[in-house]
């Protein structure tokens, strides 16, 4: 899968979840369950790794924030491997029968910003 297509599909899924729920703070399972991307042949771990990498890229570009990081002792420059670790620890799973992604005990809230919002937040014209 091309990174550009995955990003486009991911942002479209985020937009659809916001439109459906009216909430700006998103849950990754809601977005994964909305995602139209076809991950043919990819294991759950590979899917999460691709999404984890995309979320880190969006984070580094200022397009995604994770409110949970405010408790860390210093500035965060990357969120890479957050999702993969949560999956490895059993907190994020996809039901094999239904294909629905769900959290076990914990969640990772995040916000995706469009380019206009990023520019306004950074004081750019």
pTM score, whole prediction: 0.85
SS3 content of the chain, % helix, strand, coil (to 5): 50, 10, 40
pLDDT tens string 1-11: 688 999 999 99
60: tokens are: 């580094």
pLDDT tens string 75-107: 778 889 989 999 999 999 999 898 899 998 877
Number of compact structural domains in the chain:
1
Give the list of residues 6+ apart from residue 111 with CB closer than 8 angstroms, or none: 24, 25, 26, 64, 65, 67
Give me the domain span that covers residue 74.
3-121
Are 16 and 96 a contacting pair, CB within 8 Å? no
**What 3-state class would DSSP assign to 101?**
strand
Task: Look at residue 73 in the predicted model and tell me its pLDDT.
Answer: 60
The per-residue b/e assignment along 14-30, b for 16 or more CB within 10 angstroms, e otherwise, is beebbeeeeeeebbbbb
26: tokens are: 């998103």
């Amino acid at each position: 899968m091309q990174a550009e297509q995955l990003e486009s599909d991911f942002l479209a899924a985020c937009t659809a979840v916001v439109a459906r729920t009216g909430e700006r703070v998103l849950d990754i399972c809601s977005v994964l369950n909305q995602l139209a991307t076809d991950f043919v042949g990819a294991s759950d771990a590979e899917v999460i790794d691709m999404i984890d990498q995309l979320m880190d890229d969006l984070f580094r570009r200022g397009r995604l924030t994770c409110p949970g990081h405010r408790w860390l002792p210093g500035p965060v420059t990357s969120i890479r491997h957050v999702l993969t670790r949560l999956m490895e620890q059993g907190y994020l799973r996809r039901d094999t029968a239904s294909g629905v992604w769900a959290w076990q005990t914990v969640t990772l809230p995040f916000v995706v910003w469009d380019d206009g919002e990023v520019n306004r937040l950074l004081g750019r014209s």
